[in-house]
């Protein structure tokens, strides 16, 4: 068996296999943190069970968010809506960047809302 073939076989092992667990346990804390930071789960292979668990996790986080929002008094900061767990085959959701309100836009809005110049 070639070393390339062996590498491919090891890379295709399921994450819960003894070999993959041993490789993970051999990582230094810095290497583990780097992999956690730069991981791309949407490029991995998931079983149906893992997809179902991700769906349950998303639903649970949504319910938690709804409960907090429904039971808040409306004062203070509203929590942000949880993002769905990234899944294989689904691109990462890129949050839309909100356009900043410029002075020109603010003046335009003010003039539209107050056609008489704001005089009371």
Inform me whether the pLDDT recorded for 66 exceeds 90: yes
More confident residue, 32 or 82: 82
What is the tens place of the pLDDT at every residue in 83-99?
Answer: 888 776 555 555 556 67
Listed as own residue / partner, the contacts of 33-40 with beta carbons closer than 8 Å and 24 or more positions apart are 40/86, 40/92
How high is the pLDDT of residue 60? 96
How high is the pLDDT of residue 39? 73
Listed as own residue / partner, the contacts of 55-61 with beta carbons closer than 8 Å and 24 or more positions apart are 57/85, 58/82, 58/84, 58/85
CA–CA separation, 102 vs 30, rounded Å? 43
Inform me whether the pLDDT recorded for 119 exceeds 60: no
How high is the pLDDT of residue 56? 95
What is the tens place of the pLDDT at every residue in 7-60?
Answer: 899 888 887 788 888 887 888 888 877 877 777 766 666 777 888 898 999 999
Q: Quote the pTM value.
A: 0.47
Q: Give the residue from 103, 64, 56 showing the smallest Cα distance to 82.
A: 64
More confident residue, 94 or 62: 62
């Amino acid at each position: 068996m070639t070393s390339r073939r062996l590498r491919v076989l090891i890379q295709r092992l399921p994450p819960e296999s003894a070999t993959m667990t041993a490789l993970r346990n051999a990582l230094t804390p810095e290497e583990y943190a780097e992999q956690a930071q730069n991981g791309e789960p949407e490029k991995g292979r998931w079983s149906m069970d893992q997809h179902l668990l991700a769906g349950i996790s998303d639903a649970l986080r949504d319910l938690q968010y709804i409960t907090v929002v429904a039971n808040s008094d409306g004062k203070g900061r509203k929590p942000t809506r949880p993002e769905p767990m990234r899944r294989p085959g689904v691109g990462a959701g890129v949050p839309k960047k909100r356009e900043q309100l410029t002075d020109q836009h603010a003046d335009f809005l003010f003039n539209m809302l107050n056609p008489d110049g704001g005089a009371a």
